[in-house]
Amino acid sequence: MHPDVAALLAVQDDDVAINQLETRLAELMPRLAVMAKERDKAMAALQQGRQTAESEERRRHEVAERVAQHRALQEKNQTALNSVTSMREATAATAQLETAKRMIDEDERELSAIGLRLVEANRTVEERERVVNELETAQAEARNSLAADQKDLEQQLAKARKAREGKSKAVPRALLSRYDRIRSRKRVHAVFPLRGSSCGHCDTMLPLQRRSIMSGTGATEVCEGCGVMLYATE
Ligand SMILES: [Zn+2]
């Protein structure tokens, strides 16, 4: 194998390693996004639970105030009943007392129903707070470990890029720039050996004359089938 090709293959090995590190680094970001989404969902559920509890609490307050008003009314009616002077007044005051009592009974039934719903709503809030806290603890750990992974990968990447730069100096400039043009995000491997008389990547046959030049001079050729760079192994 021509030494230029050997030097290029060493660069390609580094490029493959760099590509793998870049891929692993890029994979860390979606994991952060998934965690943020999970947390948003738990927070929204907690917020909704708190709103439910608050609105029950408000309702309880309203009904309790109404009970107080109705009791005051009842007291007034009782006083009125105590000071009636005729049968007609007594009947009217008694009717008002009964009405007030019915209203109070109704309010108290409602109060007790609200009380039950409030207990349930508060229980839901507590449960959701627990979920959010647990999630935050777990995610803090996961984020720390992700940050450590990221730092580690970035260090490895910096080292690999430096090594690649050093090795690329051993490759003739024209050959290196051809290689760089062929290489892309989709094509990490740009250089392949001839396999017999065909491209080692896509099996397209190369004319004998070109193969002879390749073996004779160590020159590289671009495959007409798939566009990769080919070299002769012997
Ligand atoms: Zn090919």
Q: Which of 78-87, 100-109, 123-132, 199-208 has the lowest mean pLDDT?
A: 78-87
Task: Tell me the pLDDT of the chain averaged across its residues.
Answer: 93
Give all strands (DSSP E) within the chain, no chain letters: 191-195, 198-199, 221-222, 229-231
For residue 7, how far is its CA from the centre of ligand 1 (angstroms)? 21
Q: Does domain 18-161 correspond to CATH entry 2.60.40.420? A: no
Q: What is the mean pLDDT of residues 121-150?
A: 95
pLDDT of residue 185: 66
Q: Are the beta carbons of 15 and 183 closer than 8 angstroms?
A: yes
Residue ranges of domains in the chain: 18-161
pLDDT in tens, 145-194: 999 999 999 999 999 999 999 999 999 999 999 999 999 767 889 999 99
pLDDT of residue 29: 87
For residue 194, how far is its CA from the centre of ligand 1 (angstroms)? 9
Structure confidence at residue 11 as a pLDDT band (50, 70, 90):
very high
The neighbourhood of ligand 1, an ion, using CB within 5 A, equals 199, 201-202, 204, 223, 225-226
Percent of the chain topping pLDDT 90: 79
Q: Residues 28-37: contacts with CB within 8 Å, 24+ apart?
A: 28/146, 28/149, 28/150, 28/153, 31/142, 31/146, 32/143, 32/146, 35/139, 35/142, 35/143
Q: What global pTM score does this model have?
A: 0.69
